[in-house]
């Protein structure tokens, strides 16, 4: 069955393609098409179930009604929840979402950005960048493509951001631990740690200690390699057990580390340690409601990242937002 096109409607109705196109694009009044004609056109189009060819339209207008989303890993619940919320906002506004994962690989991110803009012609791009610096985005020739960066901030790069208050949330949870009488609080961070979210959380931890007159000790700060999480966590525990008998809390900067920590603490060798420490985690996951151990956590407004960033990119695409916008969303502490 051949697809209906403007010409078919035109013949059927006796109006020109031009007129029909105008009415369909809501420009009937603007071009002075009489109300009666407009109604007739809309009725016929609805009856015949005609929809304009997307490619012809995009070719002519240069607009694809697609927004790209680039994240490290779309199977990560954090990002897939963001994706879901972005998608639903876009859909309500007649746009569609195209998602790609970089696998935390800079080269891959580059290729994806170029591919999306060049070959797919997205109208805008939402990115949780893996880059350490903004060089690529500074030098890109796609300066007229709307960009919104989420989750991670690129240092010294003036752009549109929708991020979480990692520093504040981190400081808050550490403060809470201190109020609960914790004095020796270890911090399990992740390597590579140049990603802004991690940096900010580390700083929140340090500053909270300092403000509460506790010393920041390097030997309490453990860096866990992202591809050796379990091993590094256990090594760190061994070290802490030996050198910090007064240890009373471990603060993990993400949920993967926390998971590994929980697994490790079930081993016999850490039995004693396990019973005397509190565990805190930046990021709240469902599992914390099920396990026996009480985990203190910081919950991130994940949905809001999606909603805010998609609304922002639409505004930019439609020229409603011209200067750079910085949205910082607050976290909330979950005591258990």
| Chain contacts with DNA (rule: CB under 7 A) | 3-7, 14-19, 21-22, 24-25, 27, 31-34, 37, 50, 52-53, 56-57, 59-61
Tell me whether residue 31 or residue 194 sits nearer to DNA (CB atom). 31
Q: Select from 51, 181, 246, 323 the one that contacts a second copy (CB under 8 A).
A: 51
- What is the total count of residues that contact a second copy (CB under 8 A)? 44
What end-to-end distance do the CA atoms of the chain give, in Å? 62
Nearest approach, Cβ of residue 48 and DNA (Å): 11
Residue 1 engages a second copy in binding (rule: CB under 8 A): yes
Q: For residues 257 and 229, what is the distance between their CA atoms, to the nearest angstrom? A: 7
Helix (H), strand (E) counts: the chain: 13, 12
Q: For residues 325 and 160, what is the distance between their CA atoms, to the nearest angstrom? A: 5
Task: Find the DSSP H helices in 62-134.
Answer: 77-92, 106-114
Q: For residues 250 and 174, what is the distance between their CA atoms, to the nearest angstrom? A: 10
Q: Select from 242, 266, 268, 320 the one that contacts a second copy (CB under 8 A).
A: 266
Residue 58 engages a second copy in binding (rule: CB under 8 A): yes
Residue 141 engages a second copy in binding (rule: CB under 8 A): yes
Residue 55 engages a second copy in binding (rule: CB under 8 A): yes
Residue 105 engages a second copy in binding (rule: CB under 8 A): no
Tell me whether residue 61 or residue 326 sits nearer to a second copy (CB atom). 61
Closest CA to 97 of 109, 108, 112, 86: 86
Tell me whether residue 11 or residue 324 sits nearer to DNA (CB atom). 11
Q: For residues 197 and 6, what is the distance between their CA atoms, to the nearest angstrom? A: 51
Q: For residues 71 and 85, what is the distance between their CA atoms, to the nearest angstrom? A: 14
Nearest approach, Cβ of residue 29 and a second copy (Å): 24
Residue 266 interface partner, choices a second copy, DNA, none, CB cut-off 5-8 Å depending on type? a second copy
Burial of 236 (0-12, 13-18, 19+ CB in 10 A): buried
Residue 304 engages a second copy in binding (rule: CB under 8 A): no
Q: For residues 325 and 303, what is the distance between their CA atoms, to the nearest angstrom? A: 19
Residue 126 interface partner, choices DNA, a second copy, none, CB cut-off 5-8 Å depending on type? none
Q: For residues 202 and 209, what is the distance between their CA atoms, to the nearest angstrom? A: 11
Q: Select from 30, 35, 181, 290 the one that contacts a second copy (CB under 8 A).
A: 290
Q: Which stretch binds a second copy (CB under 8 A): 81-89, 156-164, 178-186, 315-323?
A: 81-89
Residue 254 interface partner, choices a second copy, DNA, none, CB cut-off 5-8 Å depending on type? none
Q: For residues 106 and 132, what is the distance between their CA atoms, to the nearest angstrom? A: 9
Q: Select from 18, 53, 158, 332 the one that contacts a second copy (CB under 8 A).
A: 53
Tell me whether residue 142 or residue 157 sits nearer to a second copy (CB atom). 142
Helix (H) or strand (E) holding 17: helix 17-24
């Amino acid at each position: 069955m051949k697809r209906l096109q403007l010409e078919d409607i035109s013949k059927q109705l006796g109006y020109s393609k031009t007129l029909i196109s105008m009415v369909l694009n809501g420009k009937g009044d603007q071009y002075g098409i009489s109300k009666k004609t407009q109604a007739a056109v809309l009725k016929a189009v609805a009856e015949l179930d005609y929809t304009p060819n997307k490619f012809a339209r995009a070719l002519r207008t240069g607009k694809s009604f697609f927004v790209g989303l680039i994240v490290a890993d779309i199977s990560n619940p954090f990002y897939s929840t963001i994706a879901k919320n972005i998608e639903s906002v876009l859909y309500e506004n007649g746009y569609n979402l195209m998602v790609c994962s970089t696998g935390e690989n800079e080269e891959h991110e580059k290729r994806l950005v170029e591919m999306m803009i060049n070959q797919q012609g997205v109208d805008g791009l939402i990115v949780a960048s893996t880059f350490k610096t903004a060089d690529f985005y500074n030098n890109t020739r796609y300066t007229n493509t709307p960009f919104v960066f989420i989750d991670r901030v690129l240092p010294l790069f003036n752009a549109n951001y929708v991020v979480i208050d990692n520093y504040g949330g981190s400081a808050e949870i550490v403060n809470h631990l201190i109020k609960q009488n914790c004095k020796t609080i270890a911090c399990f961070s992740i390597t590579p740690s140049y990603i802004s979210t991690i940096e900010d959380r580390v700083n929140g931890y340090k500053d909270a200690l300092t403000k509460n007159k506790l010393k920041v000790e390097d030997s309490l700060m453990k860096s866990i390699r992202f591809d050796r999480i379990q091993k590094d966590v256990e090594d760190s525990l061994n070290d802490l057990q030996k050198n910090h008998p007064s240890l009373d809390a471990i603060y993990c900067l993400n949920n993967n580390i926390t998971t590994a920590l929980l697994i490790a603490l079930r081993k016999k060798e850490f039995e004693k340690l396990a019973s005397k420490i509190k565990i805190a985690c930046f990021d709240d996951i469902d599992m914390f409601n099920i396990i026996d151990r009480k985990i203190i956590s910081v919950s991130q407004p994940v949905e809001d990242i999606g909603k805010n960033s998609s609304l922002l990119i639409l505004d930019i695409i439609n020229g409603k937002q011209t200067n750079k916008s910085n949205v910082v969303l607050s976290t909330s502490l979950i005591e258990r």
